[in-house]
Each structure stands twice: as C-alpha cells, then as structure tokens.
Amino acid sequence: MLHFLTTTSLFVSLPNDCWCQVLGRPIHELIIRGLPVTPSTGFAAPKRGVDLEPGLSLRPTKKRRSPTDIRLVRARIFYSKPSRAPDGKIRAGLPRFRKLRPTSKDGRLTLYADVLNDLRRDFRSDNAARHALKYIFPSYYGLHNVFTSGLDVTNASFPFRDYTDRHDEILRQGKAKTPKRLRDLKPLSTRLLQLHCQTSYKRICDIVCPSKVSLGPL
C-alpha cells in the first residue's frame, strides 16, 4: 500500500469524461524513456563551477529563435501548484523559501528567502533591482534563456527550461555588472518591486473573482 501511494499515479473519472489526477507526479514532469540524444543537441561541456542538470545543454544555438519557436507551457502557467506560506496561505510571486542549505560558519541548515518576496526592508536597494532584471532580461546577463540557450533533450513535451526559480543559477554565476542598455531600467525595476510589495493580490482576486463557497469558522 505504501508503494502504491508514493510511487504510482492515481486518477479518478469525472462526469465530463475527463480524468483528474489525485496522486503521483504530474504527467508533464515525467521523462520519456528511450528518447535518443543526438550529437547536434546533446550535452555540451559545462563551464567551470557550473552543475549541469541532466539533459540540459548550455551550448548556444547558431540562430536566435523567433517568438513563434518558443512554447508557452500551459501546464506551468495555468495548472502549476501555487507557492504557499508556512501557515498554508497562497503566496503570490516567486517561491519565497529555498531548499535547506548549510551555512558557511557552523554548517547548520537554514532557509533562504527570495529577494523578490523579502522586500519589506530591501526593495529599494540596487541588489533587488538587479535581481529582478536578471529574471526579465536573462540573456543580457549571460543566463539560460529561451532565445539562444540549449534545450532539454530528455524531455520532448517540455524542452524549454522552467525559469520560475533562478536562485541557484544566479548564485553560480556570481556578481555581474548591469549592462549599459539596462541601467536606465533600474528605477523602473525598483518601482515594480515596490508595487509588488504593496499589492494585496488576494484582495484583488476576491473582488474580481469572488469565491462562491462561503467558508465558516473551522
């Protein structure tokens, strides 16, 4: 029974002839077995100090991809699981808490907060503005992007990487100067972060799309 609940997928039939998955890893995250890796799109030699994910190539393409060649993954945009706070409430924005990491001094595990969601005291700093620009314009900072970077050859359904969390990639890259073309956008980035910090997304959602279910006291 434990194996059935932890390693398999369970679906239930719905009245509209659809299936709803209640257990197991989402289908769109499963890797297709037996997918050949061709030399033209295979593995590239990783840069020094960079941990390459399985099947992910850092080799840039010879031709810049056009917008029509880039897929918007509906499963990630509309059906992905929301990020939740420790109290169980849905948190808007990028994931707040990272994986447990040992600190450099005592080796104890600590939680790292994302700079885009931990902005109550730091959203006006240049560090936060640059961090946001790296998410918006990754190609200018030499980060993995959909226009010039290699694809994930082991995943035929989702060859483009999930860019929801770039924290580890930005740490591996280290400090990077803001490109001259983006320097004038730093005040705008700071303003966007300020609005993000002050906006109550739940209140807007309750006004625009109120719930039809009345939740009483538990």
| CA–CA separation, 83 and 90 (whole Å) | 6
Residues in the chain: 218
Contacts of 5 (CB under 8 A, 6+ apart): 23
Q: Give the three-class secondary structure for 3.
A: helix
Going through the chain in order, the beta strands assigned E by DSSP cover: 10-13, 19-23, 83-84, 90-91, 101-102, 109-110
Task: Tell me, yes or no, whether 135 lies in a domain.
Answer: yes
Task: Tell me, yes or no, whether 218 lies in a domain.
Answer: no
Task: Tell me, yes or no, whether 103 lies in a domain.
Answer: yes
Task: Tell me, yes or no, whether 35 lies in a domain.
Answer: no
Task: Tell me, yes or no, whether 22 lies in a domain.
Answer: no
In one-letter notation, the amino acid at residue 104 is S
Tell me what pLDDT residue 51 has. Answer: 46
Tell me what pLDDT residue 32 has. Answer: 58
Task: Tell me, yes or no, whether 215 lies in a domain.
Answer: no
pTM above threshold 0.75? no
Phi, psi of 214 (to 5 degrees): -90, 120
- Domain of 161 in residue numbering reads as 68-208
| CA–CA separation, 182 and 134 (whole Å) | 10
Task: Tell me, yes or no, whether 29 lies in a domain.
Answer: no
Task: Tell me, yes or no, whether 107 lies in a domain.
Answer: yes
Tell me what pLDDT residue 182 has. Answer: 92
Q: Which two tokens stand for residue 84?
A: 């939740």
Q: What is the mean pLDDT of each run of 10 residues along the chain (218 residues)?
A: 77 87 75 50 41 48 75 73 73 56 49 52 76 89 86 70 80 87 90 83 84 64
Q: Which two tokens stand for residue 51?
A: 């941990």
Number of domains composing the chain: 1
